[in-house]
Structure 1
Amino acid sequence: MEVTDWDMADHINSKEEVIAYLEAALEENDMELLLSTLGDIARSKGMTQIANDLNLSRESLYRSLSPDGNPSFSTVMKVLNTLGFHLSLKQKATA
């Protein structure tokens, strides 16, 4: 049996998929998952171009968006903006 590497970035093909993926990550309230998700999306769009748009090195952006990364909130917001998104809030449903 041959095993190949699977990369989520290779399977994000539309804006709707990006939105669903980001929303699912945000619902988990898990920063590591959110960073990993942003990393997947950035790789699917071209990490080098996004890093250039942010005036960061590609390596720095990879580190920031790794599960062990610790980017500033400003960096996360800049990545979202570069990807064409902004955050908005909605009130949690109460049980």
Structure 2
Amino acid sequence: METNAAEHLTDPEDQAELLADAFATGDPRYVAHALGIVARAHGMTKLEQATGMKRQALYRALSMDGNPKLDTLMKVMKALHLSLRAEPREAA
């Protein structure tokens, strides 16, 4: 039986750490997937109400195969009380 990560990821610090890790990889699939895990941990019904988006659209966008638009990303981050921050990094 596969464990649902969202059920165990209830601490906001752990959620932020997961998302920071996902953003650090630069992998859009991982970012969408991680955001979906955090969204499910908060409750998709609450997220649907906070974003004004349909649950089905949220599930689709926030899956490993999803590709959320920037608008969707910003709405979801705001609804989850999370922010994005840009930091300089060393050139390769």
The whole-number CA distance in structure 2 between the counterparts of 1:90 and 1:56 is: 30
Given candidates 51, 58, 82, the residue that maps to 2:48 is 51
Q: TM-score, normalization: structure 2? A: 0.92
Shift of 1:15: 1.1
The whole-number CA distance in structure 1 between the counterparts of 2:42 and 2:3 is: 17
C-alpha root-mean-square deviation of aligned residues, in Å?
1.2
Instruction: Confirm or deny: 8 A CA contact 2:33 2:63 kept in the other structure.
Output: yes
Gaps of 5+ in 2: none
What is aligned with 1:61?
A: 58
Q: TM-score, normalization: structure 1? A: 0.89
* Matched letter for residue 5 of structure 2: M
Shift of 1:33: 0.2
Matches within 5 A, 1:14-29: 14-29=11-26
Q: Which protein has the larger Cα radius of gyration, Structure 1 or Structure 2?
A: 1
Shift of 1:17: 0.4
What is aligned with 2:85?
A: 88
Gaps of 5+ in 1: none
* Matched letter for residue 29 of structure 1: G
Instruction: Confirm or deny: 8 A CA contact 2:28 2:67 kept in the other structure.
Output: no
The whole-number CA distance in structure 1 between the counterparts of 2:67 and 2:90 is: 30
More helix by share: 2
Number of corresponding residues? 92
